[in-house]
């Protein structure tokens, strides 16, 4: 083994790395962002509280006592709503992951059981009396924990009342009102994330490589305008966006049986998202000159957005300050717009989030076009 060659080559690589301040900066910044993001998301995990809405349709002493038993669970933050409230609409409007509905007859069922134990003339057929737990199927982190807690409380409640016989259980329903799986909610976020990465890195690679090879400067001598060049490139980028989106939907439908809807808002969001992140890539490529450094800068920008914008983690799981940060990130509005258009079919919210995406797209793309230079600095 030639140790002299190994050590010499190692020193040369270190020197080459140090000669590029941009590469050094982004190499160090990336792990810093990594630990800060995940540390902020998961720090204080032991102090996490889970929001649970309770609707008491029985309003008896038994149902009130059961609600109090839920309030005594330290990790549950209980909010009660009136009997006239549409809980599924309330969950969608307020971003609630779980609601427990105590049905009418809850107290009567327990009373009938007690009477049957002391009076043989009173019959109790032992039929399971179900409470209804509405869950948001898109939240695969919070809802299993809440489900487990409520199941445990009901089990203890049954033991205290009957000594072991189950007279109460849980009937689980989706807050969406349709049979959706988690994959249905994951796909819109995956579409937004895929478009973001392909557009940002595509623009960075094109602009930095063309500048380095002198292609942008040579375009000044050709009978082509900046507008013609940008439109031709954007048509290609839009083709890639729709191609990747189509692949995701087709494979997801064939393999996982996706249950999603496509509307005009879906196409508008895909187009706007492509322009948005193409403009962002042009901005990065404008201020970061080297190809390697530009790629690292792109990762440092897209990576935090990927995790903070609700692509993989529900915003409710994050600390409040991270939720505030998420709401200024363009990808958050893309993800929510696509989910409301493809899953919830909520016209008002789809329009709201689409409006933000269009504004972001106009701002970033115009800035990217204006600041991109064909001449060398």
335-347 pLDDT, tens digit per residue, is 999 988 988 778 8
**Token pair for 298:** 């792109």
Q: How far apart are alpha carbons 92 and 350 in whole angstroms?
A: 13
- Minimal CA–CA distance to 294: which of 193, 202, 194? 202
pLDDT digit string, tens, across residues 33-46? 655 655 555 554 44
The pLDDT-based confidence of 334 (bands split at 50, 70, 90) is very high
CB 73 within 8 A of CB 153: yes
> Please, what is the average pLDDT of the chain?
78
Report domain extents, the chain: 48-174, 182-371
Q: How far apart are alpha carbons 252 and 181 in whole angstroms?
A: 12
Q: How far apart are alpha carbons 271 and 242 in whole angstroms?
A: 9
Q: What is the pTM of this model?
A: 0.67
The per-residue DSSP string of 56-106 comes to ESS-SHHHHHHHHHHHT-TTEEEEEE-TT--HHHHHHHHT-SEEEEE-TTH
Residue range 154-168: average pLDDT? 73
The per-residue pLDDT for 213 is 65
Residue with tokens 């057929």: 125
DSSP state of 47: G
| Higher local confidence (pLDDT), 4 or 264 | 264
Residue 177 has pLDDT above 60, yes or no: no
Q: What is the dihedral of CA 90, 93, 95, 98, to 10 degrees?
A: 20
The pLDDT-based confidence of 272 (bands split at 50, 70, 90) is very high
Q: What's the CATH superfamily of 48-174?
A: abc type-2 transporter like domain (3.40.1710.10)
Give backbone dihedrals phi and psi of 135, rounded to 5 degrees, phi first. Answer: -125, 155
Residue 101, classed as helix, strand or coil, is: strand
């Amino acid at each position: 083994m030639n140790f002299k060659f190994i050590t010499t080559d190692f020193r040369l690589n270190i020197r080459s790395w140090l000669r590029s301040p941009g590469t050094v900066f982004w190499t160090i910044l990336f792990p810093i962002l990594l630990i800060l993001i995940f540390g902020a998301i998961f720090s204080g995990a032991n102090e996490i509280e889970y929001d649970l809405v309770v609707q008491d349709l029985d309003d008896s002493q038994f149902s009130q006592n059961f609600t109090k038993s839920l309030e005594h669970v330290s990790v549950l933050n209980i909010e009660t709503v009136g009997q006239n409230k549409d809980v599924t609409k309330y969950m969608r409007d307020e971003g609630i992951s779980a609601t427990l509905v105590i049905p009418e007859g809850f107290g009567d069922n327990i009373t009938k059981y007690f009477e049957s134990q002391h009076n043989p003339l009173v019959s109790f057929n032992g039929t399971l009396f179900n409470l209804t737990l509405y869950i948001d199927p898109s939240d695969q982190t919070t809802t299993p924990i809440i489900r487990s807690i409520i199941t445990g409380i009901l089990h203890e409640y049954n033991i205290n009342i009957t000594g072991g016989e189950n007279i109460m259980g849980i009937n689980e329903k989706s807050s969406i009102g349709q049979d959706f799986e988690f994959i249905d909610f994951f796909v819109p976020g995956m579409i937004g994330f895929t478009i973001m990465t392909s557009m940002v890195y595509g623009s960075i690679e094109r602009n930095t490589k063309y500048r380095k090879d002198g292609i942008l400067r040579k375009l000044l001598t050709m009978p082509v305008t900046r507008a013609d060049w940008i439109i031709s490139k954007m048509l290609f980028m839009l083709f890639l966006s729709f191609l990747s989106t189509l692949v995701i939907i087709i494979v997801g439908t064939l393999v996982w049986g996706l249950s999603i809807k496509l509307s005009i808002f879906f196409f508008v969001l895909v187009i706007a998202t492509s322009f948005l992140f193409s403009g962002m890539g042009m901005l990065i490529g404008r201020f970061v000159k080297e190809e390697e450094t530009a790629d690292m800068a792109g990762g440092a920008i897209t990576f935090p957005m990927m995790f903070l914008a609700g692509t993989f983690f529900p915003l409710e799981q994050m600390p409040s300050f991270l939720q505030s940060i998420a709401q200024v990130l363009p990808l958050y509005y893309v993800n929510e717009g696509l989910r409301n258009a493809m899953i919830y079919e909520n016209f008002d919210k789809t329009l709201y989030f689409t409006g933000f995406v269009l504004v972001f797209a106009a701002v970033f793309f115009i800035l990217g076009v204006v600041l991109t230079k064909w001449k060398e600095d």
